[in-house]
Structure 1
Amino acid sequence: MTTGGHLKPFKFGVNMIVPDSRAAWVDKCRKVEDLGYDVLGAADHLGMAPPFPALVLAAEVTNRVRLNTFVINSAFYNPVLLARDVTGTDQFTEGRLELGLGAGYVKSEFEAAGMEFPRAGKRVDHLEHTIKELKRLYADENHKPETVQKPGPPLLIAGRGDRLLTLAAEHADIIGFTGTAAVPDGGGLVPADADGIEERVNFVREKLNGRDAELNLLPHFVSVVEDRQAALEELRERVKGVLTVEQLAALPTALIGTHEQIAEQVLAHRERFGFTYFTVLEHNMESLAPVIELLRGR
């Protein structure tokens, strides 16, 4: 069941992560729409396309898809300057913008930008301040440019920690789940198992307290293959045995099998977790596209 107590229709997005020439970017954006995806996202990392200009260009060469920042590293932005980019982009895309925000997590990018890498609490503080400033400026009739969407573009907040997900439950229209867990010794992130992801979803549901929100997930592992069992065995090796084959088979961040098998997995993940909005990385967009058609109207 979803947070609103009923099954919502599916929505599928592509997160664009490969910078390219103008012509190649245009071709890729058109392909996203032609393949049937609902949302085209631009990531916010150094070495990738700048998200707001990339989405404005995408709007010029597409007609239907929503346009998403997936997700803005809020720690890199002054909230007032970010508001200008957000409202201007919503204007230039004629109200097709979906604003994804995160607290920032890649230390090396802060270092490359010559910026201090604040502790997690400080980064979430800045994200909260940013959200409140955006809302204030959206409501200010003297703030220009105005948003086309009122009171502002739909807000997606993505993360995994208690405080960030609490913030998302309070403010976000869409809540993005990372599907990861921290290694206790500070050794980075590993895939969370299905029970761990379900715990995070239940945490959010309790914090929502009846408020409706869309639940988004980024599947890390997508593989369209005839032999699902062999692919799961191979994935177990790739994740260095952190999860068993049985755990990987139940994992919503691992969409593996034939198109028909993956469609059944997506249906099961909607039923168990409430995920209705799935975002894949651009190198998976063509292989997963037939699943969209299989699930249309279900």
Structure 2
Amino acid sequence: MAEFRFGVNMAFPGTRAEWVDKARRAEALGYDAFAVPDHLGMPAPFPTLLLAAEATERIRLTTFVLNTPFYNPVLLARDVAALDQFSGGRVELGLGAGYVKDEFDAAGIPFPSAGARIDHVEQTVLTLRKLYSDPDYQPAPARPEGPPVLIAGSGNRLLGMAAQHADVVGLPGAAFTESGLMRAASAEEVGERTEYVRGLLGERRERVELNLLVWAVAAPSERDTLGDRVRQLLPGFTDDQIGAAPAVMMGTPQQIADSVRECRERYGITYFTVVEPDLERFAPVIELLK
């Protein structure tokens, strides 16, 4: 049975010393990936990941995930290769199609259609791999083929593209309501999405990881405050949805570890990424599963 991997998505930089301490703490707690999202108002992914690389020895450095339409693929290839080279080959490149129109507006970047944004993600992957296949390309990534690629999303077209090109397919554990808010994806919805993408993978099915973004982890004593904490991130969650969502895990460390195992057995998910506020809460679960 496939082994687990665990990441933590870090969104609050603080001071340089605080960031270094967080990176070292994540590594000491047994996390496999130290990840940074790509949203305005949050840490810039590449400089913060390079600092994390300098402060650590083992943990992977992950963009989780880039707003790929923000980037020219050729220029992005240079930054990714440099980070991969200087981190000793520890980069995992996470790509997404972008979904927050206000961020595009604030950056003065046109917000294309969903199809055009997905096309841009695909073209980015193809461009990076073409450039890295050139033995004379500089700066050369640590591995000739470049870092592994995680592509995250939930729509049919994006998952179809990810099934062709990704080393890891990331599922957000959430879905959009008609009003545009994000809500928890039910167990049935997560099951349908994982079955859909696994069906598309074909012979690659055993080589491609599935990742789930876990929006909250809570002890039984935090039951009364869990809903409010989750809704700070995703206003569309209702209490009923929170209680039934695979991307929200509540219980003792052993109970949560059992939920993680169930996700592997039921959905084939082996890679789980928690959010920064749960860095310490989830660590006992990692101890039980490794």
Band of TM-score, shorter chain: over 0.9
Match of 1:141 among 135, 146, 160: 135
Q: Does residue 271 in structure 1 map to residue 287 in structure 2?
A: no
State the secondary structure of the residue aligned to 2:48. helix
Structure-2 change in CA distance of 1:142 and 1:281 (3 Å)? same
Structure 2, unmatched stretches of 5+, are none
State the secondary structure of the residue aligned to 1:279. strand
The amino acid of 1:74's aligned partner reads T
Deviation of the 1:221 alpha carbon: 2.3
**Mapped contact 2:183–2:235 kept (Cα < 8 A):** no
**Mapped contact 1:19–1:47 kept (Cα < 8 A):** no
Q: Does residue 219 in structure 1 map to residue 214 in structure 2?
A: yes
Deviation of the 1:225 alpha carbon: 2.4
Match of 1:155 among 137, 149, 152: 149
Cα separation, 2, equivalents of 1:33 and 1:235:
25
2:40 paired residue number: 46
The amino acid of 2:79's aligned partner reads D
Structure-2 change in CA distance of 1:235 and 1:42 (3 Å)? closer
Deviation of the 1:275 alpha carbon: 1.1
Structure-2 change in CA distance of 1:240 and 1:32 (3 Å)? closer
2:88 paired residue number: 94
Cα separation, 2, equivalents of 1:168 and 1:237:
29
Cα separation, 2, equivalents of 1:54 and 1:153:
18
Structure 1, unmatched stretches of 5+, are 1-6
Deviation of the 1:251 alpha carbon: 2.4
Structure-2 change in CA distance of 1:147 and 1:261 (3 Å)? same
**Mapped contact 2:36–2:45 kept (Cα < 8 A):** yes
Q: How does 1:192-203 map to 2 (within 5 A)?
A: 192-203=185-196
TM-score, normalised on structure 1?
0.90
TM-score, normalised on structure 2?
0.92
Q: How does 1:42-191 map to 2 (within 5 A)?
A: 42-184=36-178, 186-191=179-184
Residue correspondences, number: 287
Cα separation, 2, equivalents of 1:102 and 1:86:
15
**Mapped contact 2:216–2:275 kept (Cα < 8 A):** no
**Mapped contact 2:36–2:63 kept (Cα < 8 A):** yes
Cα separation, 1, equivalents of 2:21 and 2:236:
39
Deviation of the 1:70 alpha carbon: 0.5
Higher relative contact order (CA 8 A, sep 6+): 1
Match of 1:280 among 230, 249, 274: 274
Alpha-carbon RMSD: 2.1
1:26 paired residue number: 20
The amino acid of 1:269's aligned partner reads C
The amino acid of 1:54's aligned partner reads T
1:3 paired residue number: none
State the secondary structure of the residue aligned to 1:290. helix
The amino acid of 1:46's aligned partner reads L
Identity of aligned residues (%): 52
